[in-house]
Amino acid sequence: MTSIEEKLSQLRQFETSRLLLRPVTLDDAQAMFQYASDEENVRFAFKRNETIDDTKAMIAKIYLAKPLGLYGIVEKESDTFIGTLDLQNLNVDLGRAEIGYCLNKRFWNQGYATEATKAFIKLYFEELKMNLLIAQHDTANPASGRVMEKAGMLFSHNMPYDKIDDKDLSRLITSATYVITKEDYFNALELTKKAETSR
């Protein structure tokens, strides 16, 4: 296990003002199935789950098999499991990885995805000491890009013909890529501190 993986193993749970991010378990299957079975909800995320067993299998395959950097998002006030935030494609040598998220649509447009992403970015650079974080979204889903921007990530480029849409094989996806480097993060942090002290 690398030092980064060791640190991730110690960051199994963290909180924001409204959210608890913690490991996903099979006890979350029913709450996850509520949105994983909704085609509109998961259109740009993954194949719709047709049964609760599909959701349990997904949890076992992804969240239980290799849980480091994978979090369930819980609304603290209602103690409701509302989605996931995932660290993907970790490259320890380069100090880079990708981030993805999926939220129950009942909780869209409340700033939860941005809140969770911003909190993770803080841990990513301050605790894990990483160099670069990447996020991508289908350009047909601009709302996801707005989350990335609000979380402090910067638009990098569009990649045309990036992949085939597995729900419409005739459609070739253009992916928008957002990034934030450690320099971006700490420079923005310093500017925020200066602005606060000058008030």
Q: What angle do CA 190, 89, 24 make, to 5 degrees?
A: 90
Domain that holds residue 48: 4-198
Q: Which of 43, 118, 104, 35 is nearest to 75 (CA)?
A: 104
58, two tokens: 């997904």
pLDDT of 194 reads 82
Q: Side chain identity at 33, as an amino acid letter? A: F
> Cα–Cα distance between 195 and 54 in angstroms, integer?
49
Q: What is the pLDDT of residue 1?
A: 62
Q: How many domains does the chain have?
A: 1
Determine the pLDDT at residue 149.
Answer: 97
CB-based contacts of 5: which residues, under 8 Å, 6+ apart? 68, 92
The CATH number linked to 40 is 3.40.630.30
pLDDT for 65 equals: 93
The predicted pLDDT at position 165 comes to 84
pTM of the predicted model as reported, rounded to 2 decimal places: 0.91
Task: Kindly list the averaged pLDDT for each block of 10 residues, start to end, along the chain of length 199.
Answer: 84 96 98 94 90 97 94 98 97 96 96 97 96 97 95 97 87 96 96 80
Amino acid (1-letter code) at residue 108: W
